[in-house]
A and B are shown apart, each in its own frame.
Chain A
Amino acid sequence: MAMSGPDNANPTPERPAMIDWPARFRLLADTTNDPRLKRFYETGCVTPDTALADTPLVALDFETTGLDPNRHSIVSVGLIPLDTRRIRCNAAQHWVVRPPLPLHQSSVTIHGITHTDIDQAPDLTEVLDELLDALAGKVVVVHHRGIERPFLDVALRWRLKEGIEFPVIDTMAIEADVHPNRQPTWFGRLRGQEPLSIRLGDSRLRYGLPHYPPHHALTDALASAELLQAQIQHHFSPDTPVGQLWY
Chain B
Amino acid sequence: MQAELIEIRNHLSQYEPFDGLPEATLDKIVNQVEIAYFRAGSTILELDQPSTDLNFIRSGAVEIFRRSGELYNRLTEGDIFGQFGLMMNKTVRFPAKALEDTLIYCIPAALFQELWETEESFADFVEIEDRTRLRTAVARQSKSGNLMNAKITRLISRPPVMAPSCVRLQEAARIMTEQGVSALLLMDESGDPPQMAGIITDRDLRTRALTEALPSETPVSDIMSTGLITIRSEAFIFEAMLMMLHNNVHHLPVVDPKGQPRGIIGLSDIVKYESQSTLFVVSNIFRQSDVSGLKEVSRDVRDSFIRMVSEDANSHMIGSAMAGIGRSFCQRLLELGEEALGPPPIPYCFMALGSMARDEQLVVTDQDNAMVLDDRFDPVQHDDYFKALAKFVSDGLAACGYSYCTGDIMATNTKWRQPLSVWKDYFTDWIENPKAQALLNSNIFFDLEGIHGDTAYTEELKTLVAEKAMKSQRFLALMARNALNRTPPLGFFRTFVMEQDGKQNNTINLKRRGTAPLSDLIRVHALACGSRAQNSFERLRAIADTKLLPEGSVENLRDALEFIAIVRIRHQSLAIEAGNAPDNSVRPEDLSPFERRNLKDAFQILSSGQKFLRYRYHAPAGRNVS
Residues of A within 8 A of B (CB): 78, 80, 85-90, 92-95, 207-210, 212-213, 216, 218-219, 222, 225-226, 229-230, 233-234
Complex Cα–Cα for A93 and B101 (A): 27
B60/A218 in contact, CB under 8 A: no
B96-126 to A contact mask, C-beta < 8 Å, 1/0? 0000111100100000000000000000000
B38/A233 in contact, CB under 8 A: yes
Which of B5, B35, B59 interacts with A86 by CB under 8 Å? Answer: B35
Beyond the given pairs A86-B34, A218-B3, 11 more chain A to chain B contacts, judged by CB atoms under 8 angstroms and listed by A's residue number, are A87-B35, A90-B34, A92-B31, A93-B3, A208-B59, A208-B100, A209-B101, A213-B7, A216-B6, A219-B6, A234-B39
B32/A90 in contact, CB under 8 A: yes
A230/B39 in contact, CB under 8 A: yes
B8/A89 in contact, CB under 8 A: yes
B33/A89 in contact, CB under 8 A: yes
Chain A contacts of B106 at CB under 8 A?
Answer: 86
B5/A210 in contact, CB under 8 A: no
Q: Counting CB contacts under 8 A, is B474 at the interface?
A: no
A86/B36 in contact, CB under 8 A: yes
A-B contact pairs, 30 of them (CB 8 A): A86-B106, A87-B36, A89-B30, A89-B32, A89-B35, A90-B33, A92-B3, A92-B5, A93-B3, A94-B1, A208-B40, A208-B59, A208-B101, A208-B103, A209-B37, A209-B59, A209-B101, A210-B103, A216-B6, A218-B3, A218-B4, A219-B7, A222-B5, A222-B35, A226-B37, A229-B36, A229-B37, A233-B38, A233-B39, A234-B39
Indicate the member of B5, B40, B106 with the most A CB atoms within 10 Å: B5
Contacts of B50-79 to chain A: CB distance below 8 A: 58-60
Shortest CB–CB separation between residue A238 and chain B, in angstroms?
A: 12
Q: Counting CB contacts under 8 A, is B504 at the interface?
A: no
Given A86-B35, A210-B59, A230-B37, are A94 and B102 neighbors across the interface (CB < 8 Å)? no
Chain A contacts of B37 at CB under 8 A?
Answer: 207, 209, 226, 229-230, 233
How many of B's residues come within 8 Å of A, CB to CB? 28
Shortest CB–CB separation between residue A61 and chain B, in angstroms?
A: 12
Complex Cα–Cα for A238 and B40 (A): 16
Question: Taking CB as reference atom, which chain A residue is nearest B60?
Answer: A208
Complex Cα–Cα for A162 and B39 (A): 43
A89/B1 in contact, CB under 8 A: no
Complex Cα–Cα for A92 and B11 (A): 18
Q: Counting CB contacts under 8 A, is B276 at the interface?
A: no
Contacts of B282-341 to chain A: CB distance below 8 A: none
Q: Counting CB contacts under 8 A, is B42 at the interface?
A: yes
Given A86-B36, A87-B34, are A209 and B103 neighbors across the interface (CB < 8 Å)? yes
Complex Cα–Cα for A87 and B35 (A): 5
B1-21 to A contact mask, C-beta < 8 Å, 1/0? 101111110010000000000
A230/B101 in contact, CB under 8 A: yes
Complex Cα–Cα for A122 and B601 (A): 55
Chain A contacts of B1 at CB under 8 A?
Answer: 93-95
B103/A85 in contact, CB under 8 A: no
Complex Cα–Cα for A87 and B33 (A): 8
A78/B3 in contact, CB under 8 A: yes
